[in-house]
């Protein structure tokens, strides 16, 4: 499974129920569009660390890094390479 698919699957399993019939696009801002709740960012951090075997640090925390599937993929490319 590609990184994009893994991330999509994780986000889709955490969509708030009012949005779980909507189709999530790769560049949708999941926070601004209300796809996820306030605890999600932390769950996403745990997922990224465990799934991609990296440790996120203080200076990685910019929410822009995690705001869409595309931004997460690009953040991981910067961290881990393609």
Partner 1 sequence: MDQDLKQEKIVEEARLFADKAIRPYAAEHDEKGRLPKNLIKKMAEKGFLSTSFPKEYGGLELDPVYYGLFTEEIGKACCSTRALVTVNTSLVGETMLRWARKDQKEKWLRDIASGRKIGAFALSEPEVGSNAQGVMTSYKESGSHYILNGRKKWITFGDLADFFIVIATGERGITAFIVEREFEGLKSHPIKGMLAGRASHIAVVELDDVAVPKENVLGGVGNGFTYIVNTALDHGRYSIAWGGVAVAQEALESMVAYSRQRSQFGKKIHEFQLVQGMIGDAVTKVHAARALCIRAGEMRREKAPQAIMETAIAKYFTSMVAMEVAANAVQIHGGNGCCSDYPVERLFREAKILEIVEGTSQIQQELIARFGLRKYYKKSKKS
Contacting positions for partner 1 (CB under 8 A): 10, 13-17, 20, 37-39, 41-47, 49-50, 58-59, 61-63
Cβ at position 42, least distance to partner 1 in Å: 5
Residue 21 or 82: the one with the smaller Cβ distance to partner 1 is: 21
The CA distance from 33 to 28, in Å, is 7
The CA distance from 28 to 37, in Å, is 15
The answer to whether the CB of 4 falls within 8 A of the CB of 68 is no
Residue 15 or 73: the one with the smaller Cβ distance to partner 1 is: 15
Give me the helices (H) in the chain, please.
3-12, 40-52, 69-80
Cβ at position 26, least distance to partner 1 in Å: 21
Residue 28 or 45: the one with the smaller Cβ distance to partner 1 is: 45
Q: Quick one: DSSP state of residue 29?
A: -
């Amino acid at each position: 499974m590609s990184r994009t698919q893994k991330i999509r699957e994780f986000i889709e399993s955490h969509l708030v129920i009012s949005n779980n019939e909507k189709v999530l696009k790769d560049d949708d801002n999941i926070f601004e569009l209300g796809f996820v709740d306030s605890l999600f960012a932390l769950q996403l951090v745990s997922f990224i660390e465990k799934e991609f075997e990296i440790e996120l640090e203080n200076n990685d925390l910019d929410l822009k890094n995690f705001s869409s599937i595309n931004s997460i993929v690009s953040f991981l490319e910067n961290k881990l390479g393609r």
